[in-house]
Amino acid sequence: MTTVVTTKRVSAFKNELIKDFSIPKEYGSQAAAIREAKASYGAVYPLVIGTEKPKTQDYIISKNPARPNEIIGKFSKGTIGMAQRALDTAARTFETWKLTPYTQRAEILLKASAIVKRRRYEINAWMILEVGKNFGEADGDTAEAIDFLEFYAREMLRIGGQQPVHKNKNERGYLEYIPLGVGVIVPPWNFPFAILVGTASAAIVAGNTIVLKPSSDSPMMGWLFHQIMEEAGLPPGVLNFFTAPGGEIGDYLIKSPMTRFISFTGSKEIGLRINNLASQHQPTQKWIKRVVAEMGGKDGIIVSKDADIDVAVEGVVSAAFGFQGQKCSACSRVIVERPIYDAFVAALKPKVEALQMGDPAENKAVGPVINIRSQQKAMEYVAIGKKEATLLCGGKTIATNGGFYVEPTVFIDVPPTSRLSLEEIFAPVLSVIPVKDFEEALKVANNTEFGLTGAVYTKNRSRLERASKEFFVGNLYLNRKCTGALVGSHPFGGFNMSGTDSKAGGHDYLKLFLQAKVIAEYMPDDKVKRPARKLKRIPKPSATSATSATE
């Protein structure tokens, strides 16, 4: 079944609403999709290189982190030779794809969006099983992917075609954005569909061809996206699906002189490595490679002495423990003024202890962390925390069906310069830091090497205005939690070691995958007429009041 979509009349952008799984029908539909997905466990999946779909003898095994004995699927493990074939294929395809009208490229994204909407429960189900998101977190991820497809299609319609420039005497001129070339897309496992779809679709709609290398913890999501884009009519070779471990294969793709750009989301350490490798000029390389990187975070929420404690606690618990704290935007530390510190801690403890842990396929609030390495890292920081601060609650692993569970953990009286306070943990571990006043709160909020998200709870307007100027993060939220960015409304990306401030879901984002070319033609006798602007005018993007579980 192919969904037909036209770009002739495109409505204003609006965010996709998240489903309400407290409604029995919605819950039942999602549970049924999970059962269907489980019936397909263990299949073998190929690489996709142009029109070829080769399988290998070695596999990347995707497992359910809630039940590691359950094998999601076996994904062919690409080799160096296959990586080169993927690059060669992408380079050949680029010569025709770059000439495809931008309106046609946008139409493919709109078709893909319609397909995602139709397959929504299925996509959610595989995400729940592959990375351990509960129903709401998974659906928020899928909704954000829909938003990216819809938003970037409209953005390409907005900036495609001839753009006007200042008119000179005896001259006709214009500017147009042209694609870069072959890109390597390296998305993360924590937003395995939304970020994968967003980074890949932005590059594709801009006219580039890509080698998509999904995380080894979530290859199924990349396979689903390949299927969707194929159904939407994307020509073979534009998206080459390539599963392989990092290390040697990743380095090969990044260092290749054929690679024009790399889009990466993940840890600070790997992001810096990619940036370093990409900066090294290779023989026959004709360009300076472009790196778009979203890396880590150590995000803080300031709770002022005049804040509504119950509202602040609710926001902190949601931001700290949603998807087990495995978000680069997650609240990993809360900075509380002394006059309300004891009351805040007293209100926080029962809310955290009330969180239900268990299998996300049963829609429990807190599921497993992604793998055994993440569980071990979390427990290493719990051990560090016990030396640096006071354990308020949690701090243990839970053995349920062999899953990688870590209790929601809170440390109090955490020194602001401790490892617990400064280092990214990426697990359900929250530090509560007391400060004497708002002045100190801002200093503590800015004392990490990261600068991704932050939030402030206060009823004081002057404090909100001061935080707006002095709290140094890419996404700052006032009197709300620091997670839940909406495409279009909250372009997402951070400062310092949090990345290149790429602002995914914003009006600047597509230009990261484009380069501007200016054409100026001399016209005698001042008879020049500016050519008609060849882009389709559409309403400016708008956002609904929807809330999102995603970044």
Specify the DSSP class assigned to residue 15.
P
Residue 90 three-state SS? helix
Whether residue 487 is contained in a domain is answered as: no
Tens of pLDDT, residues 272-315: 999 999 999 999 999 999 999 999 999 999 999 999 999 999 99
**5 pLDDT band (50/70/90 cuts)?**
very low
State how many domains the chain has: 2
Whether residue 335 is contained in a domain is answered as: yes
Pair (173, 208) in one structural domain: yes
Pair (320, 274) in one structural domain: no
Pair (256, 329) in one structural domain: no
Whether residue 180 is contained in a domain is answered as: yes
In angstroms, the Cα distances linking 90 to 35, 53, 81, 126, 292 are 37, 15, 14, 28, 19
Residue 218 makes CB contacts below 8 A (sequence gap 6+) with 62, 127, 130, 131, 189, 192
User: What values do phi and psi take at 185, rounded to 5?
Assistant: -105, 120
Total residues belonging to the chain: 551
Q: What pLDDT score does 321 carry? A: 98
Pair (471, 519) in one structural domain: no
331 bridge partner residues:
299
* Mean predicted confidence (pLDDT) in 58-87: 98
Whether residue 305 is contained in a domain is answered as: yes
Q: What pLDDT score does 525 carry? A: 78
**543 pLDDT band (50/70/90 cuts)?**
very low
**531 pLDDT band (50/70/90 cuts)?**
low
Pair (353, 394) in one structural domain: yes
CATH number at residue 448: 3.40.309.10
Highest mean pLDDT among 1-15, 379-393, 527-541: 379-393
Whether residue 202 is contained in a domain is answered as: yes
* Mean predicted confidence (pLDDT) in 261-267: 97
Tens of pLDDT, residues 191-243: 999 999 999 999 999 999 999 999 999 999 999 999 999 999 999 999 999 99
Pair (184, 220) in one structural domain: yes
Pair (392, 512) in one structural domain: no
Mean pLDDT of the chain, nearest integer: 94
Catalytic residue among 16, 328, 337, 407: 328
C-alpha span between 40 and 137 (Å, rounded)? 22
Q: Are 257 and 283 in contact (CB under 8 A)?
A: yes
**4 pLDDT band (50/70/90 cuts)?**
very low
Pair (280, 345) in one structural domain: no
Tens of pLDDT, residues 392-420: 999 999 989 999 999 999 999 999 999 99
Q: What pLDDT score does 527 carry? A: 63
The domain boundary residue, chosen from 421, 444, 478: 478
Q: Is 328 assigned a catalytic role?
A: yes
Q: Note the helical H segments in 446-497.
A: 461-470
Whether residue 197 is contained in a domain is answered as: yes
Q: What pLDDT score does 514 carry? A: 98
Catalytic residue among 16, 294, 337, 407: 294
Pair (121, 91) in one structural domain: yes
Pair (79, 187) in one structural domain: yes
Kindly tell me if the per-residue pLDDT of 366 is higher than 60: yes
Specify the DSSP class assigned to residue 392.
E
* Mean predicted confidence (pLDDT) in 14-41: 98
Question: Would you give the end-to-end CA distance of the chain in angstroms?
Answer: 31
Kindly tell me if the per-residue pLDDT of 550 is higher than 50: no
Whether residue 413 is contained in a domain is answered as: yes
Pair (227, 92) in one structural domain: yes
Whether residue 275 is contained in a domain is answered as: yes
C-alpha span between 187 and 197 (Å, rounded)? 9
Q: What pLDDT score does 534 carry? A: 52
Range of the structural domain that residue 212 is part of: 37-295+499-526
CATH number at residue 115: 3.40.605.10
Tens of pLDDT, residues 464-516: 999 999 999 999 999 999 999 999 999 999 999 999 989 999 999 999 999 99
**Class of residue 162 by CB neighbours under 10 A (exposed 0-12, middle 13-18, buried 19+):** middle
Pair (174, 201) in one structural domain: yes
* Mean predicted confidence (pLDDT) in 333-350: 98
